[in-house]
């Protein structure tokens, strides 16, 4: 990998759909199998708060959300919503598949679904990470 390739990210509809389905399923389970209404109410409020904070991250509304990243000679440079650049010297791909790529950064990870890449395809990213 010698040339510099920049990937732009957008909100993932697949990740949002999976999140909605899981949270709705958990909400139904909470109310279906509970013996105490107060416990169900508390767990429902916690689940709704988790769904809200997760959607802020899924829809890239957080100020530290990564909007684009560049690959250059086994190094990755990320650009967040505020325009700050962060460079990571080594790219470590934790998981690769046809629909999802997870790249491990220093203290976090960059999760990329197939529909969250705005400028390139996920298969091109997989080829560059394997090179």
Q: What percent of the chain has pLDDT over 90?
A: 24
Residue 97 CB partners (closer than 8 Å, separation 6+): none
Q: Domain check: are 86 and 50 in the same one?
A: no
Q: Domain check: are 76 and 103 in the same one?
A: yes
Q: Domain check: are 124 and 71 in the same one?
A: yes
Q: Domain check: are 90 and 115 in the same one?
A: yes
Question: What is the rounded end-to-end Cα distance, in angstroms, of the chain?
Answer: 6
- pTM value is 0.75
Query: Structural domain of residue 27, as residue ranges?
Result: 13-58
Whole-angstrom distance, CA of residue 15 vs CA of residue 5: 24
Q: Domain check: are 42 and 71 in the same one?
A: no
- What are the tens digits of pLDDT across the range 59-77? 888 888 888 888 887 788 8
Q: Domain check: are 69 and 87 in the same one?
A: yes
Q: Domain check: are 71 and 114 in the same one?
A: yes
Looking at the 3D structure of the chain, how many domains does it have?
Answer: 2
Whole-angstrom distance, CA of residue 125 vs CA of residue 100: 11
Q: Domain check: are 121 and 82 in the same one?
A: yes
């Amino acid at each position: 990998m010698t040339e510099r390739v920049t990937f732009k990210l957008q909100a993932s509809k697949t990740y949002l759909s999976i999140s909605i389905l899981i949270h709705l399923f958990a909400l139904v389970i909470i109310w279906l199998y509970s013996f105490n209404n107060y416990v169900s109410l508390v767990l429902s409020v916690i689940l709704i708060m988790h769904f809200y904070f997760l959607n802020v991250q899924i829809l890239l509304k957080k100020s530290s959300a990564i909007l684009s990243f560049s690959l250059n000679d086994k190094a990755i440079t990320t650009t967040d919503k505020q325009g700050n650049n962060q460079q990571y010297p080594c790219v470590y791909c934790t998981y690769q598949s046809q629909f999802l790529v997870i790249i491990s950064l220093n203290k976090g990870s960059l999760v990329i679904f197939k529909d969250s890449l705005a400028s390139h395809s996920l298969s091109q990213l997989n080829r560059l990470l394997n090179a």
